[in-house]
Structure 1
Amino acid sequence: MKIFFILLLGLPLFVTIQSCKKKNDSLEFKERGTLIESSNNGHLSASEIADKIDKFDAHNIVIHGVTYYSITYRTIYQGKQVDSRGLLLVPDDVDTTYLISYFHGTHVPLNLGEFYSANMETPSNYKGEGDHFLETRNIALAWASAGFTVFLPDYIGFGLTADKEHPYLAYDELFKANIDGLLATKSFINQNGSFYDNRIFLSGWSQGGGACLSAHKFIQEQYPSEFTVTASSGLAGPYNMKGFIDEILAQKDQDVGIISGVFSWGIYSLNKFSPELKRPTDQLYTYPVPDQLAAIFVPSKIPSQTLQEYFIAHIVDGTDTKAMQVINRNTFSQGWTPVGKVFLHHGDADNTVYYMNSATAKTGLTAAGGDVTLYTYPGGTHDSELENYVRNTLNDFNALK
């Protein structure tokens, strides 16, 4: 996925994991989605924002200055209440709120000083920097300066909840904290006097693309009175989890490169966060996997050398019915009808999250009656289409205001 994957460099595992202080041990009960606190962390003018967007020239996009807030809210993690955070970007001089939720791509939960730090990509930590925070600066700030209010959840496992394991690619679990952040954001908007009519635009890149499309489904099914999904727009997301896994396992005896760690972490999370599974990891892996870091830093980039043969065989032939139930539940490329529009963006030379994810989602959701547009970028890779995504999404969302 859009990854800062240190495993590619063959680093040994003498790394510093994010702070493990227990911040949520004894919380007074509050309803999920309660806004605990908000902090005004600063303001950027339109010209400052244009200077901080460094992946393309955004001077013809930025219009408004933006105030950025850290939002703390109540959610749940594995059945227990916790507080999590996100970043809220509010444009100046806009009386009507048009709300975008942006779900960020893959961040490895490590801090390695100047070499790599998840803290420097976690949205709520943003304080107006002109480096790091790639998605916050180049995507979210661009849209906020164009007039949208943008909320970016940190995700469980980062920021305030860095002591917890991240539900990577377990989208039904990931959604819980993300929707609670949106409910808290709605409270903030209502408290601050801006007109808001419940419409929401969803977006995300890579892992966040999957979070975007899954949230589209989950919100319209579970929270239709709180939010109306106007549109979702995802870049290079793993929408077809079943097809994606099938393609990787079809190459099980080959070096699949960066996908090895992505795939392994996803298997670990689907197992941990799905009540049907929760299997001992020695039933899944050929090597000791006591935690998510061990799943990320695989000893081999060949899947058949890291996963148990019988686990692979029963996924391939579909006879592991409980695992297939979980995989199908986290597949969003078919079987439901989106309310609102769906925009999919993908480079057809993407070797990280394969193009077939968007192609099959276009086919499957259109067949189910959805209004789906697929932007195919010829020759585009996983990381090459950020500007096209930002500009095309902004045009599409503006047309739906």
Structure 2
Amino acid sequence: MKINKYLLQVIFLISLSLFTFSCKDDDGDVTPAVAIDRLDEGDRLFGRGVNELRSLIALSDNEELNEIAELFQYDVTHYKVTYKTTYLDEEIIASGLVTFPETTEAMPMISFQNGTIASNAEAPTVNTQTFLTLSSVASAGYIFVIPDYIGFGASSNLISPYHNAEYAGRAVVDLMRAARELASQEGYNFSGEAFLSGYSEGGYATLAAHKMIEEETPDGFELIASAPSSGGYDVKGFQEYFFSLDTYDNPFYLAFVALSYQSVYGYDDPLSDLFQEPYASAIPALFDGSKNGSAINAQLTTNISELLQPDILVNLDTDPKYSNFVAALVDNTITNWIPVAPIYMYHGTADITVPYESSLDSRSQFIAAGASAELVTLTNLVGADHGSGFLPYLVEAVNLFESLK
């Protein structure tokens, strides 16, 4: 029993982080068939009964998880999905998970975005034990989707565009469209209402997807709200925080961002402009998809003055040599627009990995851009750090979405 309890806690903490058919609505009327545009393939994995899901949660002996389990109503069926999206102006195949509640009633959709991963083994469609357990939230009455992100799963041959707003948002929105198509194909009923949620990097991807949905207004979707948690939405601000430290326990974050932006924007600036040796030369191979963040951190240094070039710590914002990198940081900061649907932000007050103050600042930036204080809110996860904040956030987000259904 102790082993089961431990495994379930780890599973829920995770990375501390469709040709067309028609379906019936809850009145029995046939809803219009959805044309296949984004869906490549939807492979049924397996189903789980509602009692089985409740039993799995009960083994964890965790009050927060049991609170979610009380909402479970439906058996669920899990699918692995490949779908079409775009990356660097080319169509590619990406992947993700989709879970349906077994009902003909019209159900809303939740897209959940996970925290930072670096190895393909951590991708949702590969690490299915973890993420399909998380997907049990579908039993509460949601179509539940989780993208792998570009660079993992079906697109693991690519360098992941980490903390790039366009491709973070695109991976989410196109999977949601593919899930809508799969629902139509498999006879499930999507109500059109959509919610976005995500933790850490997933919080960033959630805001990027929120912005993209409101800019592009994809057919068949009404975004009700987003609930991002503990993300670095102000990428430039997070860089400034990082540079202000003497040590940082996750140096692979900055290495990942630098490698991503070099790949996405195609500039010739060498990594040695930012990083000292032997780290500059080692970084590309460290992100080959075989190593997780801990393994990459072990090959770097937590000492900022040893990791980064001395000149960049002083002259990043003034030396034209660094202008490409600075421009990329600014371009991918996503706090300078006015949302239509509400944003409910969450953050642990003891978080220093992605500092709590970053969410305070991000909310202030939204309000300065013209958003009302009621439209963009911040809920404090009191005493939680980057690891311990996930479960309280998950409960808060699910209860929030229940209240907005």
TM bucket (normalised to shorter chain) is 0.7 to 0.9
Q: Which structure's residues are more often helix, by fraction?
A: 2
Q: After superposition, give the CA deviation of every residue in 1:237-276 in whole Å (9 maximum; x if it has no partner).
A: 111211111111112xx12122x1212212221232125x
Amino acid at match of 1:337: I
Give the counterpart of 1:230 among 215, 220, 224.
224
Question: Which residue identity is paired with 1:89?
Answer: T
Equivalent of residue 80 in structure 1, options 86, 90, 94: 90
Distance 1:292 1:80 in 2: 24
CA RMSD of aligned residues (A): 2.7
State the secondary structure of the residue aligned to 1:98.
Answer: strand
Query: How much has 1:226 moved relative to structure 2?
Result: 5.2
- Corresponding residue of 1:153: 147
| CA distance in 2: counterparts of 1:191 and 1:147, whole angstroms | 19
What is aligned with 1:52?
56
1:283 maps onto 2:273 in alignment: yes
Pairwise CA distance, 1:339 = 1.2
Q: What is the distance in 2 between the residues matched to 1:222 and 1:336? A: 14
Q: Does 1:390 align with 2:387?
A: no
SS in 1 for 2:69: coil
Instruction: State the AA in 2 paired with 1:67.
Output: T
2:325 to 317, 323, 326: 323
Select the residue among 43, 49, 61 that pairs with 2:71. Answer: 61
1:313 equivalent in alignment to 2:314: yes
What amino acid is aligned across from residue 139 of structure 2 in structure 1?
S
Cα–Cα, structure 1 residues 136 and 278, in superposed 2: closer, same or farther, change >3 Å? farther
CA distance in 1, matches of 2:36, 2:231: 27
Match of 1:213 among 207, 210, 213: 207
Q: Does residue 141 in structure 1 map to residue 136 in structure 2?
A: yes
Q: Can you list the C-alpha shifts for 1:151-177, whole angstroms capped at 9, x where unaligned? A: 111112222222222122223233333
| Separation of aligned partners in 2, 1:290 and 1:255 | 18
Counting only pairs closer than 5 Å after superposition, residues 75-154 of structure 1 correspond to structure 2 as 75-109=85-119, 118-119=120-121, 121-125=122-126, 129=129, 133=130, 135-138=131-134, 140-142=135-137, 144-154=138-148
Aligned partner of residue 225 in structure 2, secondary structure: strand
Cα deviation per residue 1:95-138 (whole Å; 9 max; x = unaligned)?
112011111111221xxxxxxxx43x4222466x4xxx1x5424
Q: Is the 8 Å Cα contact of residues 94 and 147 (structure 1) preserved in structure 2? A: no
In the alignment, structure 1 residue 265 sits paired with structure 2 residue 259: no
Q: Counterparts of 1:149 and 1:32 in 2: how far apart (Å)?
A: 18
What amino acid maps onto 2:313 in structure 1?
Answer: I
Equivalent position of 2:247 in the other structure: 255
Structure 2 CA distance, aligned partners of 1:70 and 1:94? 21
Match of 1:354 in 2: 355
Change beyond 3 A, Cα 1:318–1:232 = farther
Residue type of the alignment partner of 1:51: S
Contact 1:4 1:108 in 2 (8 A): no
Q: In 2 relative to 1, CA 34–344 (structure 1 residues): closer, same or farther, beyond 3 Å? A: same
Q: How does 1:32-43 map to 2 (within 5 A)?
A: 34-43=38-47
Unaligned runs of 5+ in 2: 1-12, 18-34, 289-295
Query: Residue type of the partner of 2:160?
Result: H
Contact (CA 8 Å) 1:235, 1:344: kept in 2 or not?
yes
TM-score by length of 1: 0.80
Of stretches 312-321 and 179-188 in structure 1, the one that deviates more from structure 2 is 312-321
Q: 1:382 and 1:327, CA in 2 relative to 1: closer, same or farther beyond 3 A?
A: same
2:115 and 2:199 in contact (8 A); partners too: yes
Number of the residue aligned with 1:23 = none
Could you report, residue by residue, the CA deviation over 1:199-225 in whole angstroms, capped at 9, with x for unpaired residues? Answer: 321111111111001111122113454
**1:155 aligns to what SS in structure 2?**
coil
2 CA distance for matches of 1:33 and 1:49? 33
Q: What fraction of aligned residue pairs are identical, expressed as a percent?
A: 26
| Aligned match of 2:342 | 341
Residue 66 of structure 1 deviates from its aligned partner by 0.8
C-alpha distance in 2 between matches for 1:33 and 1:318 = 45
Indicate conservation of the 8 Å contact 2:229/2:346, yes or no: yes
What is the CA–CA distance in structure 1 between the aligned matches of 2:36 and 2:46, rounded to whole Å? 27
- Equivalent in 282, 286, 291 of residue 293 of structure 1: 286
Q: Check whether the contact 1:85–1:160 (CA below 8 A) recurs between aligned residues.
A: yes
Distance 1:292 1:234 in 2: 31
CA displacement 1:42-74 (0-9 Å, x = unmatched)? 001112223334463243132211100111112
